[in-house]
Structure 1
Amino acid sequence: MKPRLILVPSVHVVRDAEGLRMDDKFIEGIRMFAREWDGPVRVVIREYDGALPFSRRIDPADLPCELRVIGPEIPITPEDLQGGDIVLAAADDFRQMSLPPVCAAVGARLVYAIEYDLATRMAVSQMDLATLRPLKRLLRTLRAKQWLLSHERRLRRALRAADGVQANGFPAWTAYRGLSASPCLYLDGRMSRDAMATPADQARRAAQTGPLRIVHAGRLIAMKGSQDLVPFAQALRDEGVDFTLDIFGTGPMRAPMAADLARLGLGGEADLPGGQPGPVRLHQPVDFSTELVPWMRDKADLFVAFHRQSDPSCSYLEAMGCGLAVMGSSNAMWTELAKQSQGGWVAPMGQPATMARQIAALNRTDIMTAGERALHYAQDHDFDREFARRIDHLRQLAPALTPAQHAST
């Protein structure tokens, strides 16, 4: 028998009158696991009672795996994992902390995948409470910290009890690698090597004259630092920088951002006929592979990221794979990635005017050189290579995989 892999993700499915909806990126992940894993794959996934952006309708029969859907708060049972040889579960979902004894009961090895460290979870909770009145915010902050510290103890016990840990990004790797006898670091992204910038792209970018072409893409929310975009553009103008700034994304901050851009004469919605003139253009979200990547390879010089927390955002590596230098905030993830890659610069978090001054001090040669370094680093950490690292790690731990099978894969 070939070893059976069971995935227990933190993402959800939504059930409506017409069937199930599932996250687009997770669907592609399932297909990759099914293609690369030498054996059957089962997904145990929870339902969610709400909207699921960036999703599409699925027919379970069309998926290359067995799909088991359980209720939102239903614990994973031995029946869900029966017949499994190795379980890969999301440790960022607190409902998965009880899995070690369940896996032991069915004889399956357990590997946790984790993205957030305690500092990141603390930062996210603070942002969620930012709009409350001061007294209520203080009380909620104390309760949140107490819960997070208690959860951290449970998390660390679970990671120690697991057979392996896969850490996405440097903060989680630093925080949790010492808890496991078999840790694995990976950098998540969506770009394969053949989708990345070519020498012709880089030559065309280097020959470009005119405004510095800056781009930002992602959800327009406080956690991603979207509140810094308009002050940043205003500061660039005040510094006398000749620039354009194209912003791709949607979220609760989009409408007030468009209003502020128009009020300040900085630009606005790019897709409206007769839109506001100015260096800043707000675009609707576009398909990543077919539209955003070609656009960034051809029409941008520098990517800006204002992330207020240290999550292992794939935006960094994806921009770098397009041949772009990155100017990012001083969170733990980007600080280490910038140090390793030399593919950009670190600006103080929450200080868009300082970031604008740093950019004003750069010349095109600085930016092109950093873009080349960024591209080389991204090529060394493309999606296929990072995914293969995860699969190899699981193969080494799978109890049913014999040495002969391992040698043949």
Structure 2
Amino acid sequence: MPVSDATASAPSGTMASQQKKRRLLVLVDIPAIQREDGHWLLPTKLVTGMRAYAEQWSGPVMLGLQPGHQSSAELDNAYWPPETLPFQVQAFRFSELAERGHTALKNALVMAMLHHELHGLARRCREVGSLFVVGTELTLRTQVQIARSLHRPGPAMVKKLIWLSLNHRRALRDITEAQGLQCNGTPTFDAYAHRNPHALLYFDNRTTADMLASAQDIDTRFERLARRGRPHLFFSGRLHPIKGAHHLVPMAAHLRRLGIDFELSIAGDGPLRGEIESQIRAHGLQDQIRCLGTLRFSDELMPLLRREIDLFTCPHLQGDPSCTYLETLSGAVPIVGYDNEAWQGLHRRSGAGVLCHSRDPAHLAAAVATPVQDVTALRKLAHKAVDFAQKHLFDIEFNRRIAHLKQVASQGDAGDTHAP
């Protein structure tokens, strides 16, 4: 049976001794860039996660990256001396790893997100007596939505959609053949959990207990709202078409037409920032909308959410399981968003906001107008938000993933693996 929201637990004793024999190999699709002095260029969030793996896994831990020269777009990239890292870093060509194998696969538990160059790796691991746990984030539906947001109709679009369909078939085979499945967010869990007997649902986010909004934070925020009578709306993330960022200002213009007074802050950066700033001027909304740029997560973004934000407006046009959802709820901030796969599943489990069933700015404005005019209902949504988030903090979700890996390793060592 799939593991759902219940905490995955691993047996002790024999499992612990068996696990020591296995290397944990984590494959991540970012370029393996090493400076002349040997320092590795790695995102801080990734290093934090790998350190946690190293602390909780009994055997050696290795991070596998793709060869490359151009750095990833991660904002928290930094150079790390290898001697300070409790794990090894090695470059692998993913396609060669899946096709030909590598000595690093022997006696290993390999964990990797679905990747077109890794198709067949589950079978390769099985051939050498190793275990494979595959991670998923995007359903085929979401991948198609992203493709349509990035490509104009025409031959290139048709070619992309055909490729996605064929790639999806290979991905389903990997999911079925893997010894374990970890699904980031509800969309892929709902779609694929039945294909693997050891499936886990988790919610990726960076929130720790000290970042959660307190009851005092909520009280202070609503006292401020009562005094001002002007709700503070918010959006954070990439200012990119796939995030629907171009809907924000038109939504605000519709809110104004509805007679709703408001303030909207937009945090983040991306290719649409110039267009958004132009839209603000064109609609004469300079007094109500601010573009804040990129905020530091722990000491800028989270305090702002906890202390000042009343409602998060989420025009994501597709259902990628962005960590924005959980991090926003951690600040006791309800979400009003389009009914993409990610927000549908999260809303069903948390009840911490409103679904907008039509993906256009006018309907989003109408969906926002309802809760901001009912302070009692808005406060209830705020409490639902933080109540759900505190059950899915970073440490909790990470520990569940580690427990799941240990469980897969134990069952694999005991010979309890499902047939391909």
TM-score (norm 2): 0.87
Q: Give SS of 1:110's match.
A: strand
2:270 maps to a residue whose letter is G
The 5 A counterparts of 1:101-250 are 101-130=123-152, 137-208=153-224, 209=226, 210=228, 211-250=230-269
Gaps of 5+ in 1: 131-136, 268-277, 404-409
Q: Deviations over 1:145-181 (max 9, x none)?
A: 2111111111111111111111111110111111112
Q: Secondary structure at the match of 2:271?
A: coil
Deviation at 1:17, TM superposition (A): 6.2
Deviations 1:285-311 (A, max 9, x none): 111012110111111111111111111
How many Å separate the matches in 2 of 1:167 and 1:72? 21
Structure 1 CA distance for aligned equivalents of residues 68 and 89 of structure 2: 15
1:6-405 mapped onto 2 (5 Å cutoff): 6-15=25-34, 20-53=40-73, 54=75, 55-71=77-93, 74-76=96-98, 77-91=100-114, 93-130=115-152, 137-208=153-224, 209=226, 210=228, 211-267=230-286, 278-362=287-371, 363-399=374-410
Given that 1:13 and 1:21 are in contact with CA atoms closer than 8 Å, whether structure 2 keeps it comes out as: yes
The C-alpha deviation readout for 1:190-232, integer Å capped at 9, x for no partner, is: 1122321111101111212311011110000001111101101
Q: Residue type matched to 2:88 in 1? A: E
Per-residue deviation, 1:401: 9.0
- For 1:179 and 1:286, the matched residues in 2 are separated by 40
1:233 is aligned with what amino acid? A
Show the counterpart of 1:273.
none
Inter-partner Cα distance in structure 1 for 2:274 and 2:313: 20
The equivalent of 1:407 in structure 2 is none
Task: Give the letter for the 2:84 counterpart.
Answer: D
**1:279-337 alpha-carbon deviations (Å, 9 max, x no partner):** 10001111101211011111111111111111111111110000101111110110121
Structure 1 residue aligned with 2:3? none
Deviation string, structure 1 residues 351-403 (Cα, Å, up to 9, x no partner): 11112122223322221110100110111111111111111111011159989
User: Is the Cα–Cα contact under 8 Å of residues 245 and 315 in structure 2 kept in the other structure?
Assistant: yes
**Could you state the TM-score of these two structures normalised by the residue count of structure 1?**
0.89
Does the 8 Å CA contact 2:132/2:180 hold for their aligned counterparts? yes
- Regions of 4+ moved over 6 Å: 400-403
Does the CA-based 8 Å contact 1:44-1:80 persist in structure 2? no
Matched residues in 2 for 1:96 and 1:217: separation?
Answer: 32
**Equivalent pair of 2:318/2:340 in contact (CA under 8 Å):** yes
Residue 70 (structure 1) shift: 3.0
In 2, Cα distance between the equivalents of 1:44 and 1:356?
45
- Whole-Å Cα distance in 2 between the matches of residues 138 and 82 of structure 1? 42
Gaps of 5+ in 2: 1-16, 415-420
1:71 offset after TM fit, Å?
A: 4.6
Contact 1:43 1:66 in 2 (8 A): yes
Deviates more, 1:108-117 or 1:341-350: 341-350
Match of 1:271 in 2: none
Q: Distance in 1 between matches of 2:94 and 2:281?
A: 43
Residue 250 of structure 2: SS of its match in structure 1? helix
For residues 19-57 of structure 1, the C-alpha deviation after alignment (integer angstroms, 9 at most, x for no partner) is 542223222221221222233211111133434221222
1:85 alignment partner AA: A
Amino acid at match of 2:280: L
Contact residue 214 and residue 245 of structure 1 kept, 8 A: yes
> How many Å separate the matches in 1 of 2:145 and 2:53?
32
Q: How far is the alpha carbon of 1:62 from its aligned partner?
A: 2.1
Whole-Å Cα distance in 1 between the matches of residues 69 and 285 of structure 2? 39
Q: 2 CA distance for matches of 1:361 and 1:391?
A: 41
Contact 1:85 1:400 in 2 (8 A): no
Contact 1:13 1:23 in 2 (8 A): no
Q: 1:169, 1:312 within 8 Å by CA — same for their partners in 2?
A: yes
- The match for 2:9 is none
Give the residue type in structure 1 aligned to 2:145: A
Percent of pairs with identical residues: 29
- Deviations 1:225-259, CA, capped at 9 Å, x for gaps: 11101101111111121111111100000011112
Give the conservation status (yes or no) of the 8 Å contact 1:307–1:328: yes
Could you say what secondary structure the match of 1:334 adopts? helix
Cα gap change, 1:294/1:84 in structure 2, threshold over 3 Å: closer, same or farther?
farther
Counterpart residue type for residue 379 of structure 2: M
Structure with greater contact order relative to length (CA < 8 Å, sep ≥ 6): 2
Matching residue's letter, 2:396: R
CA gap 1:83/1:66 in 2 versus in 1, 3 angstroms? farther
Matched residue type, 1:320: L
Q: Is the 8 A contact 1:331 1:349 kept in 2?
A: no
Cα contact 2:232–2:308 (8 A) shared by 1:
yes
User: Counterparts of 2:125 and 2:392 in 1: how far apart (Å)?
Assistant: 31
